[in-house]
Structure 1
Amino acid sequence: MIRVLLVDDQALLRMGFRLVLEAEDDLQVVGEAGDGRAALDQVAALAPDVVLMDVRMPGTNGIEATQRVVDAHPGTRVLILTTFDLDEYAFAALRAGASGFLLKDAHPSDLVAAIRSVASGDAVVSPRVTRRMLEMFSDRLPAGAPEPDGLDPRLRALTPRELEVLGHVAEGLSNAEIAQRLFLSEATVKTHVGAILAKCAVRDRVQAVVLAYETGLAGRTR
């Protein structure tokens, strides 16, 4: 059973999320909070597996609350859900340690799938947000394939194949989709992703996406 905490300052939205999630046999809503401060208290008391976190709330906002949850409760994953698809919110949430970012207009089935993915340790980034992040960083991305000596120092330990896999991870592709694109087995892609996380000293897949954007790797595989 995946235990979920709902955090949003609009009670009607929390009610809607609860109705969607509690229709699933493997999801349980264990609590609700209307602001970031209350969310921190609820996480400490309830130890949810996933926090569904709004961004704009009075007092402690969702980005600050995400950072504090991740720092104090490493076993709890945060999935940011917001009506705002502005780049700064997406990128700030990911850098704060969120394991996923979806917009509130996502289909209920996509929300349920995202919670399951985040709970299992995977990352979820809306394709729309991924595209906007790529657009935002496009002027920083060098043209052509990267030369080994021109890599950011944080990427130099990666093999050419691992760099390719990381680029596709940054596009928001799943392991299965990467495997299909590169004509590899899904198990091989999973092994590459594990090596990327270890070599780059990032704690999860979504932080690898952030690294790909920060170093200019994102977009080179497109």
Structure 2
Amino acid sequence: MIKVLIADDQELIRESLKIVLSANKDIEVVGTVCNGKEVIKLVRKYKPDVILMDVCMPEMNGVQCTKIIKESYPNIKIIALTAFDDDEYIFNILKYGASGYLLKGVSMDELVKAIHTVSNGGAMTNSDITAKVFKLFSQMAQGDISIQVGAKKNLNDVCDTEWNIIKCVGLGLSNKEISKKLRLSEGTVRNYLSNILNKLNFRDRTQLAIWAVKTGVTKKW
């Protein structure tokens, strides 16, 4: 029996998934929650085998929650089930250990198959998400987004607010979430990010996130 925990901020989706998945004799839905903090509470109680994790949730998003869960419970499998196919979400939640990334348009047969696949140690993504992932790894293999940790950066030019934003990017937060956390407008966050990329000589947000994780910036500030 595969124990599944469902995390989604929309009640209709949570309950619909629970009803359909519970119809499978080898799947037990142990609980449904609406945010990442509730996920952590139920994980400690039920120790699910698989978590269906929405990416955008209040209190704590799916990316942050995945990072915390995988650090404490590495054997729990996580499938991102979301309406968003943004590169930053895909990169960050897979980086923190998710075994799958599915869009909410997926059929129930595919979802059940994904649960069985990741439960057995495999990985599962939509075809279009797979294409994005292959593209990302292709770029990394070619050195396109390879980051030299020890490379000289203009670190002295980075202000405290910029360090806070760098930390948030490394933790997988979106601009909207950074805006809320730091009490800045989204436009201000975008301007800061542009300045940060220029100062540290990074091409894009993905490079910055990789560098932040590799250098331990997310732990220092």
TM-score tier, shorter chain, comes to: 0.5 to 0.7
Name the CA distance, whole Å, in 2 between partners of 1:75 and 1:138.
28
Question: 2:92 — aligned with what?
Answer: 92
TM-score by length of 2: 0.61
TM-score relative to the length of structure 1: 0.61
**How far apart are 1:32 and its partner, in Å?**
1.0
| 1:1-222 to 2 correspondences below 5 Å | 1-135=1-135, 142=142
Measured in 2, the distance between the counterparts of 1:7 and 1:141 equals 34
1:77 & 1:28 partners in 2: Cα distance? 15
Shift of 1:74: 1.9
Separation in structure 2 between the aligned mates of residue 20 and residue 133 of structure 1, nearest angstrom: 29
Alpha-carbon distance between aligned partners in 2 of 1:66 and 1:107, rounded to the nearest angstrom: 23
C-alpha deviation, 1:133, in angstroms? 3.1
Structure 1's consecutive aligned runs of 4 or more residues displaced over 2 angstroms after TM superposition are 132-142
Return the offset for 1:75: 2.4
In structure 2, relative to structure 1, the CA distance for the partners of 1:24 and 1:60 (3 Å cut) is same
The Cα shift of 1:59 comes to: 1.4
Query: Using the alignment, how far apart are the partners of 1:4 and 1:127 within structure 2?
Result: 23
In structure 2, give the amino acid aligned to 1:48: P
Give distance in 1, aligned partners of 2:42 and 2:119.
Answer: 18
Q: In the TM superposition, what is the alpha-carbon distance from 1:122 to its structure 2 partner?
A: 1.0
Question: Any unmatched runs of 5+ in structure 2?
Answer: 143-209, 211-221
Q: What is the letter of the counterpart of residue 26 of structure 1?
A: D
3-state SS of paired residue (1:59): coil
1:162-211: per-residue Cα shift (whole Å, max 9, x none)?
xxxxxxxxxxxxxxxxxxxxxxxxxxxxxxxxxxxxxxxxxxxxxxxxxx
Deviations 1:1-29 (A, max 9, x none): 00000000110000111122011110010
Instruction: Give 1:135 shift.
Output: 4.1
Question: Aligned-pair distance for 1:136?
Answer: 5.1
Query: Counterparts of 1:66 and 1:130 in 2: how far apart (Å)?
Result: 19
The number of aligned residues is 144
SS of equivalent residue, structure 1 residue 118: helix
**1:138 Cα deviation after fit:** 5.6
RMSD: 1.9
Distance 2:140 2:31 in 1: 42
Aligned-residue identity in percent: 40
Displacement, 1:65? 0.3
Q: Which runs of 5+ in 1 are unaligned?
A: 143-213, 215-222
Residues 69-95 of structure 1 show CA distances to partners (whole Å, capped at 9, x for unaligned) of: 111112211111100011111111100
